[in-house]
Amino acid sequence: MISDLKGTFSHISNNIKRSAIREILKLTQNPEVISFAGGLPAPESFPVDSLDGLISTMLKEEGAAVLQYDATEGVTELRELLLKKYQDEGIECSLDNLIVTTGSQQGLDLVGKVLVNEGDTVICGLPSYLGGIGAFQAYGAKMAGVPMDEQGMSADLLEAKLIELAEQGIKPKFIYVIPDFQNPTGITMPKSRRIEILELAHKYDVLLVEDCPYREVRFEGEAQPMMYELDNDDHVLTLGTFSKIFAPGLRIGWILGPEAVNEKIVIAKQSADLCTPTFVQKIAVRYLKSGVFESNLKKTIDLYHQRRDVMLSEMEKCMPKGVSWTHPEGGMFLFITLPENMNALDLFHKAIEKKVAFVTGNVFYCNGGGNNTMRLNFSYVNNEKAIEGIRRLAKIIEKEMVTTESEIFA
Amino acid sequence: MISDLKGTFSHISNNIKRSAIREILKLTQNPEVISFAGGLPAPESFPVDSLDGLISTMLKEEGAAVLQYDATEGVTELRELLLKKYQDEGIECSLDNLIVTTGSQQGLDLVGKVLVNEGDTVICGLPSYLGGIGAFQAYGAKMAGVPMDEQGMSADLLEAKLIELAEQGIKPKFIYVIPDFQNPTGITMPKSRRIEILELAHKYDVLLVEDCPYREVRFEGEAQPMMYELDNDDHVLTLGTFSKIFAPGLRIGWILGPEAVNEKIVIAKQSADLCTPTFVQKIAVRYLKSGVFESNLKKTIDLYHQRRDVMLSEMEKCMPKGVSWTHPEGGMFLFITLPENMNALDLFHKAIEKKVAFVTGNVFYCNGGGNNTMRLNFSYVNNEKAIEGIRRLAKIIEKEMVTTESEIFA
């Protein structure tokens, strides 16, 4: 090995932390553990049966073309189909606005790559998706967290942060938001809040990155307009993905963004992987055209809706007083807040002993906060296990509450 | 749009140039153009017929698992199969040495990402694969070119360059080589040269990145040992890919490297795309286990061998005196050197008029040289078209030679 290997690694390499969730997930891999920790879609939601015939026809009709390199921007027909979905919603966009990515994680990475220099500031919610924060931090971003309320990122506190930064001569590169069924909280921004946040982006001349992995997985309530739609001045990049509405193992995401930014992203993507696998993109084209997409999505929504209901109702029944949680209208996650003096990491270790797992909320707080919070996934575990898991968790929390109280009064 | 969009883009974004080849390829998309420009494998070489049954069985036997997220390092069974191939060749390696990447382009990108800081020096051959140079330059690498001879990168000139850099206090991050049927020249390094280069890497305490996309596509002569195999001190990272021996549209590559470097690469990959599509990796597992891999590879080798022969024999027949070219023992490219006073870019525009295309060699020279060189691909165009294309090209070169000569003597 070369003599100073450590010194050979780049700043970027040193910036990237191994995902805390990844480490947590290792502890939960024992099949006896009931895990609310991961972010996995339910395998029951994948259209396994539909794919066989569809791929067979594809190979017969398109032959070698599905196995060849294709354009870096993505397979044109897939881009057109995705575009049409947005246009049907009344969103103004053209082919130059849409790029296919290798999962929306690549979208996050490319956004970081083309926008962030070492030391740049990026604003995100407290808490926010770890994979987003990590992708931006890799390129040297300093994350500035803005607290959330029950309507998502606080507009008042965002403006306060923007003013505070401006006073220090800092203009953030962009604001990162997950408007629908946010990861980790499950909170959705109403239209009014979206408009407020967007107006601040305009006022303070800052781009906005809108991450929408769960948007289509809505159980109840009205769909809120995308911030891309509400924008009228090329301030918004939106990230979409098939991971939660088709299959994550295909790794197909996309970016809907201003042409001038997309141009840079395409060049960066060319250097990153030349193109997203043609084969999976062509499968997606067939799948969207087959009509199974809509019916399968409906089944997925029904499944997660039911799983969320089971979780919420069991939590209602057995969680001790003083514990609160979000009631997401869609998506895959809910968020628990424990009394302030409790530490979710202590709970985590006790939970693993009792064979139930979650992710401690603090990993999503770029400011080191959130020690009394936890994220629970409700898409993966079946109802029977979910009920058992929540019961175990409630008991552990209850016991810990008593211990913590007695410590306080000791 | 925000006010200073240009100023918003990162150094990385400004470092990345749109690929010159990409621009050239746009000019060659007219189906009437006989194009030796691209780097596409022959679609006839893709095992379209074998895949249908194989995927169908896979979906039946493995179900939803092929559509779920999988490990960032890659699907374990695929890693084991790839590892076994190397171990069967007598190469010492274990599972920790092997990571699946989204094409070997992602391998190049990740190598750049974890090793290169702005201003770092990376050594490459003159000429070298543009996608490699570009991936390293994106992270701010200064490329230091070392001339090649008929055995690949010159060991003497490499040492001279290493001494020159050392005198300036510069230690390069790594040496980038493509030992087999190099892109763009088609030249293969004999074992003796590989050892010389590797000894210099050891002596000057520098990593070596060995890019092996064509290694398995050998028509004649003896396979030379990989530099990874010749190394015994964790100095070498090897990049492999299925793009030229199975199908590029699956985007499956891999890195075989020292565990300590791979650890960093896995973390960077997690941030880049979480994992390479599970679906295509699982297809690759089935394909490797089916035994079709070997028979189809043999067919591919035979096809390219024949296409190379046709090209070489036609060039022998009609290229004017003063033009020389390489005789690759495998791979997909050969390299033409024109008389020194000729400019391949002038030829290119005339060639496009006559509906024949190639890539000017200068794009592969990080030092701005190679103006009298051109790269020809022989894997994609069928024999009939290849003969016609070479005839057209020879005529254009001949005419240009006369013009250039008369200009000289004018």
Q: For the domain that residue B273 is a member of, what is the CATH number?
A: 3.40.640.10
Question: Is the same domain home to B348 and B391?
Answer: yes
Contacts of A102 in chain B (CB under 8 A): 102, 251, 273, 277
In the predicted structure, residue B104 carries a pLDDT above the cut 90: yes
Contacts of B2 in chain A (CB under 8 A): 205-207, 234-235
Question: Is the same domain home to B72 and B169?
Answer: yes
Question: Is the same domain home to A219 and A259?
Answer: yes
Whether A354 is covered by a domain: the verdict is yes
Phi, psi for residue B125 in degrees, rounded to 5: -75, 155
Whether A342 is covered by a domain: the verdict is yes
pLDDT confidence of residue A407:
67
Whether B57 is covered by a domain: the verdict is no
Beta-strand ranges (E) seen in A326-366 are: 333-337, 356-357, 359-360
pLDDT confidence of residue B26:
73
Q: For A204-219, what is the mean pLDDT?
A: 97
Contacts of B40 in chain A (CB under 8 A): 68-69
A126 - beta bridge partners?
A147
Contacts of B251 in chain A (CB under 8 A): 102, 273-278
Tokens of B231: 């190394």
Q: Which of A1, A16, A267 sits opposite B271 (nearest CB)?
A: A16
Question: Is the same domain home to B242 and B301?
Answer: no
Contacts of B272 in chain A (CB under 8 A): 105-106, 109, 272
In the predicted structure, residue A121 carries a pLDDT above the cut 60: yes
Question: Is the same domain home to B237 and B213?
Answer: yes
Residue B410 pLDDT grade (very low, low, confident, very high; cuts 50, 70, 90): low
Q: Which of B10, B138, B250 sits opposite A271 (nearest CB)?
A: B138
Instruction: Give me the interface pTM, i.e. the ipTM.
Output: 0.96
Residue B18 pLDDT grade (very low, low, confident, very high; cuts 50, 70, 90): confident
Give the C-alpha separation, A205 to A172, whole Å. 9
Percent of chain B's residues with pLDDT above 70:
99
Query: In sequence order, what are the residues at sequence separation of 6 or more whose Cβ sits closer than 8 angstroms to the Cβ of residue A4?
Result: none
Q: For B360-388, what is the mean pLDDT?
A: 97
Residue B365 pLDDT grade (very low, low, confident, very high; cuts 50, 70, 90): very high
CATH no. for residue A363? 3.90.1150.10
Residue A261 pLDDT grade (very low, low, confident, very high; cuts 50, 70, 90): very high
Among B12, B133, B5, smallest CA distance to A118 is for: B12
Contacts of B102 in chain A (CB under 8 A): 102, 251, 273, 277
pLDDT confidence of residue B408:
61
Closest CA in chain B for residue A250: B277
Q: Where does a domain end: B264, B290, B316?
A: B290
Question: Is the same domain home to B33 and B101?
Answer: no
Whether A159 is covered by a domain: the verdict is yes
Whether A51 is covered by a domain: the verdict is no
Whether A298 is covered by a domain: the verdict is yes
pLDDT confidence of residue B385:
97
Residues 246-265 of A with CB under 8 A from B: 247-251, 258, 260-261, 264
Taking the CB of residue A7, how many other CB atoms lie within 10 A of it? Answer: 8
pLDDT confidence of residue A182:
98
Whether B61 is covered by a domain: the verdict is no
Question: Is the same domain home to B126 and B214?
Answer: yes
pLDDT digits (tens, 9 = 90+) for A355-403: 999 999 999 999 999 999 999 999 999 999 999 999 999 999 999 988 7
Overall number of domains in chain B: 2
Determine the structural domain holding residue A130 and report its residue range: 68-290
pLDDT digits (tens, 9 = 90+) for A31-88: 899 999 988 999 999 999 999 999 999 999 999 999 999 999 999 999 999 999 999 9
Q: For A18-24, what is the mean pLDDT?
A: 73
Q: Which of A1, A68, A249 sits opposite B249 (nearest CB)?
A: A68
Burial of A45 (0-12, 13-18, 19+ CB in 10 A): buried
pLDDT digits (tens, 9 = 90+) for A228-257: 999 989 999 999 999 999 999 999 999 999
Burial of A81 (0-12, 13-18, 19+ CB in 10 A): middle
Question: Is the same domain home to A235 and A94?
Answer: yes
Q: For B139-159, what is the mean pLDDT?
A: 98
Among A18, A67, A121, A246, the strongest candidate for a mutation testing the B interface, having the largest count of B CBs within 10 A, is A67
Shortest Cα–Cα distance, B198 to chain A (Å): 12
pLDDT confidence of residue B383:
97
Whether B400 is covered by a domain: the verdict is yes
Q: Where does a domain end: A269, A290, A311?
A: A290
Helix (H, G, I), strand (E, B) or coil at A227: helix
Q: Where does a domain end: B240, B263, B290?
A: B290
Residues 11-70 of A with CB under 8 A from B: 11-13, 16-19, 22, 40-41, 43-44, 46, 48-49, 51-52, 55-56, 59-60, 63-70
Question: Is the same domain home to B237 and B325?
Answer: no
**Residue B381 parent element (H or E):** none
In the predicted structure, residue B347 carries a pLDDT above the cut 60: yes
Average pLDDT, chain B: 95
**Cβ pair A102, A75 in contact under 8 A:** no
Among A280, A239, A283, A271, smallest CA distance to A257 is for: A239
Burial of A191-214, coded b for 16+ CB within 10 Å and e otherwise, reads eebbbbbbebbeebebbbbbbbbb
Question: Is the same domain home to A221 and A299?
Answer: no
Question: Is the same domain home to B184 and B305?
Answer: no
pTM attached to this predicted model? 0.96
pLDDT digits (tens, 9 = 90+) for B299-330: 999 999 999 999 999 999 999 999 999 999 99
Contacts of A275 in chain B (CB under 8 A): 251
Residues 201-230 of A with CB under 8 A from B: 205-207
Residue type at position B32: E
In the predicted structure, residue B19 carries a pLDDT above the cut 90: no
Q: Which of A1, A273, A280 sits opposite B106 (nearest CB)?
A: A273
Question: Is the same domain home to A231 and A133?
Answer: yes
